Amino acid sequence: MVKLKRSQIRAVEEAVAYPQGFGYVLDFSDRTISEFFEDEFGIDFDDPKYAENGSSKRNRLTIFIAIEDAYTVAKILRALWDRREGLIRKSGGNENEAAEEETKRVFLEIIASVEGSSEIPRTDALDRYARDRTLDELIQDIERDLQANKPEAAMDHLHTYCVKKFTHLLRTRNVECGDDEPLHSRFGKYRKELLKERDLNPFTDRALKSAISLFESYNDIRNRHSFAHDNPILEPTEARYVFDTVSAILVFLRAIEAGRYERWER
18 and 43 inside one domain: yes
Global pTM?
A: 0.59
Report how far residue 25's alpha carbon sits from residue 45's, in angstroms, rounded to the nearest whole number.
Answer: 13
Say if residue 187 is exposed, middle or buried (CB neighbours under 10 Å; 0-12, 13-18, 19+): buried
109 and 138 inside one domain: no
Question: Does the CA dihedral 23-12-76-85 come out positive or negative?
Answer: positive
105 and 29 inside one domain: yes
Domain total for the chain?
2
Residue 235 domain boundaries: 133-257
pLDDT on residue 45: 93
Q: Has residue 128 been placed in a domain?
A: no
Report how far residue 146's alpha carbon sits from residue 154's, in angstroms, rounded to the nearest whole number.
Answer: 7
Helices 202-224 and 183-197 pack at an angle, to 10 degrees, of 160
User: Would you tell me how many other CB atoms lie within 10 Å of the CB of residue 44?
Assistant: 12
Tell me the per-residue pLDDT of 88-147, one tens digit each, with 9 for 90 and over.
888 776 667 788 889 889 998 888 888 766 555 666 678 888 888 888 889 989 988 887
Report how far residue 9's alpha carbon sits from residue 62's, in angstroms, rounded to the nearest whole number.
Answer: 7
263 pLDDT band, cuts 50/70/90, is very low
